């Protein structure tokens, strides 16, 4: 059975001295992020992973000043393009884009898809507290829909004002994980997706496809409740909330190798909306593969999740 993982990260040296400087506290992770060669391929072979769809590791470029984000995005995408050219059967990619400047972001997305052969873009959450339902950013969605490529909406920490209220008051390490990978950034991404829906993004761009990770960032659990609360009469939207979650959103496993939330996601959206991923190197490919093989699904559904959905969505 073929396997394609689509939330797999890398970095460049320039990125790790800039917005990714905090990653230096994890030297083993930094080393793996920089490796786009034979060692990564060997680890993929050992775990039984055929292809990785690579993207810049968090925090991406969304919190960077505009000029820096433009420079970094081009450098990141050029480095990734070289790796894909060296291993075209093993790597594909999502582009980094300078989201803070939609005109520049559209230009870079068009270059990455049209000239470099990338399969979409990654956006790491809000842009200095500004969310993507703001019409200022909609040229990016218009471009993605026109190019027929998805956008991976990856978590980032909530804006500082929110973190200071919701996720502080404990030890520094607890505060950090409470606001990020322990809880906060999953809720943050769920809120962000709901802002896109309620803000009419998918009514304006009905063919736009967004990918989110971590078995849905809490949204599948809330889907039926939100359908009841956010009726079309109340929202003015064209469709129920569940329609957007089933027709415009795709969901990756992304290191959430947990059966109970997977069952919830599977029951709410079906196998055709779920994509395999490992969240490498923040999580291991071997654990992801073991989880895939143990999923409570039939063989046809397992193949959809393992590679067929990615092939269809990304045109691989």
pLDDT tens digit string along 70-84? 999 999 999 999 999
User: What is the domain-level CATH number for residue 215?
Assistant: 3.20.20.140
Contact call for residues 296 and 259 (beta carbons, < 8 A): yes
pLDDT of residue 260: 98
Query: Structural domain of residue 40, as residue ranges?
Result: 4-314
Mean pLDDT of 43-54: 98
pLDDT single digits (tens) 123-176: 999 999 999 999 999 999 999 999 999 999 999 999 999 999 999 999 999 999
pLDDT of residue 48: 98
Element of type H or E holding 122:
strand 121-124
pLDDT of residue 307: 98
Mean pLDDT of 105-122: 98
The overall average pLDDT reported for the chain is 98
Report the domain count for the chain. Answer: 1
Instruction: Say which of 101, 134, 203, 279 is annotated catalytic.
Output: 279
Nearest to 277 by CA among 55, 61, 101: 55
Give the C-alpha separation, 86 to 19, whole Å: 27
Tell me the C-alpha to C-alpha distance, in Å, between residue 207 and each of 12, 175, 184, 189: 33, 38, 29, 20
Confidence of residue 221 (pLDDT cuts 50, 70, 90): very high
pLDDT single digits (tens) 259-292: 999 999 999 999 999 999 999 999 999 999 999 9
Confidence of residue 197 (pLDDT cuts 50, 70, 90): very high
As given in the structure block, the two tokens for residue 232 are 């079309």
Confidence of residue 216 (pLDDT cuts 50, 70, 90): very high
Nearest to 13 by CA among 40, 27, 33: 33
Residue whose entry in the numeric block shows the structure tokens 């502080």: 168
pLDDT single digits (tens) 14-25: 999 999 999 989
Active site residue 164: no
Question: Among positive and negative, which fits the CA dihedral 252, 172, 130, 116?
Answer: negative
């Amino acid at each position: 059975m073929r396997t394609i993982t689509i939330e797999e990260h890398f970095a460049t040296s320039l990125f790790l001295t800039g917005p990714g400087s905090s990653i230096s506290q994890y030297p083993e992770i930094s080393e793996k992020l920089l490796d786009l060669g034979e060692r990564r391929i060997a680890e993929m072979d050992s775990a039984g992973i055929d292809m990785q769809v690579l993207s810049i590791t968090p925090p991406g470029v969304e919190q960077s000043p505009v000029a820096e984000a433009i420079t970094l995005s081009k450098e990141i995408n050029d480095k990734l393009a070289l790796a894909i050219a060296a291993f075209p059967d093993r790597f594909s990619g999502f582009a980094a884009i300078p989201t803070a400047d939609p005109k520049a972001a559209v230009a870079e997305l068009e270059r990455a898809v049209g000239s470099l052969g990338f399969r979409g873009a990654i956006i790491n959450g809000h842009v200095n507290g500004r969310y993507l339902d703001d019409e200022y950013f909609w040229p990016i969605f218009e471009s993605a829909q026109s190019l027929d490529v998805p956008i991976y909406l990856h978590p980032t920490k909530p804006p500082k004002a929110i973190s200071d209220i919701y996720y502080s008051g404990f030890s520094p390490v607890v505060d950090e994980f409470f606001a990020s990978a322990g809880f906060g950034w999953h809720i943050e991404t769920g809120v962000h997706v709901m802002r896109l829906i309620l803000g009419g993004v998918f009514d304006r761009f009905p063919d736009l496809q967004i990918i989110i990770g971590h078995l849905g960032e809490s949204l599948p659990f809330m889907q039926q409740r939100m359908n009841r609360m956010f009726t079309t009469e109340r929202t003015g939207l064209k469709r129920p909330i569940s329609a957007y979650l089933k027709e415009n959103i795709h969901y990756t496993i992304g290191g959430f190798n947990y059966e109970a939330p997977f069952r919830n996601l599977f029951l709410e959206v079906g196998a055709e909306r779920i994509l395999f991923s490992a969240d490498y190197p923040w999580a291991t490919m071997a654990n992801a593969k073991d989880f895939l093989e143990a999923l409570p699904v039939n063989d046809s559904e397992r193949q959809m999740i393992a590679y067929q959905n990615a092939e269809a969505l990304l045109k691989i």
